[in-house]
Amino acid sequence: MQRTLARTVHMTGIGVHKGEKATIRILPAPCDYGIRFLRTDVIGLDQVVEARYDAVVDTALCTRIGNSDGVSVSTIEHLMAAFAGCGIENALVELDGPEIPIMDGSAAPFVEALTEAGIVEQDAKLRVLRVLSSVSVEHEGRFAALHPSDAFEIEFKIDFEDEAIGVQHRDARFTGDCFIQDYANSRTFGRLEEIEKLRSLGFARGGSLDNAVVVNGSEVLNEGGLRHQDEFVRHKMLDAVGDLALAGAPVVGRYCGVKSGHDMTNRLLHKLFSTPGAWRFDEVTDRSAVSSDYADRAPYIEAVVA
Task: List pLDDT tens digits, range 50-78.
Answer: 999 999 999 998 999 999 999 999 999 99
What pLDDT sits at residue 292? Answer: 35
What pLDDT sits at residue 152? Answer: 95
What pLDDT sits at residue 29? Answer: 98
Residue 255, pLDDT > 90, answer yes
Backbone angles phi, psi at 304, to 5 degrees: -110, -35
What pLDDT sits at residue 16? Answer: 77
Supply the mean pLDDT for the chain. 91
How far is it, in rounded angstroms, from Cα 215 to Cα 194? 10
| Average pLDDT, integer, range 115-129 | 96
Pairing label, strands 213-216, 189-191:
parallel
Residues β-bridged to residue 11: 24
pLDDT band, residue 204 (cuts 50/70/90): low
Provide, for the chain, the percentages of residues in helix, strand and coil under a 3-state DSSP scheme, each rounded to the nearest 5. Answer: 25, 30, 45
What pLDDT sits at residue 201? Answer: 63
How far is it, in rounded angstroms, from Cα 207 to Cα 239? 17
Contact, 44 vs 69, CB < 8 A? no
Contact, 258 vs 140, CB < 8 A? no
What pLDDT sits at residue 116? Answer: 96
| Average pLDDT, integer, range 100-124 | 96
What percent of the chain shows pLDDT beyond 70?
91
pLDDT band, residue 298 (cuts 50/70/90): very low
Residue 239 in 3-state DSSP? helix
Boundaries of every domain in the chain: 3-126, 127-304
Kindly report the CA angle at 253 between 247 and 257, in degrees rounded to 5? 85
pLDDT band, residue 288 (cuts 50/70/90): low
pLDDT band, residue 295 (cuts 50/70/90): very low
Residues taking part in catalysis? 262
Contact, 26 vs 11, CB < 8 A? yes
Return the CATH fold of 127-304: lpxc deacetylase, domain 1 (3.30.1700)
Residues 6+ apart with CB under 8 A from 247: 53, 129, 269, 272
Tell me whether residue 58 is exposed, middle or buried, using C-beta atoms within 10 angstroms of its C-beta: 0 to 12, 13 to 18, 19 or more: middle
| Average pLDDT, integer, range 105-128 | 96
Kindly report the CA angle at 146 between 140 and 152, in degrees rounded to 5? 130
| Average pLDDT, integer, range 201-212 | 74
Residue 202, pLDDT > 80, answer no
Return the CATH fold of 3-126: Ribosomal Protein S5; domain 2 (3.30.230)
How far is it, in rounded angstroms, from Cα 85 to Cα 75? 17
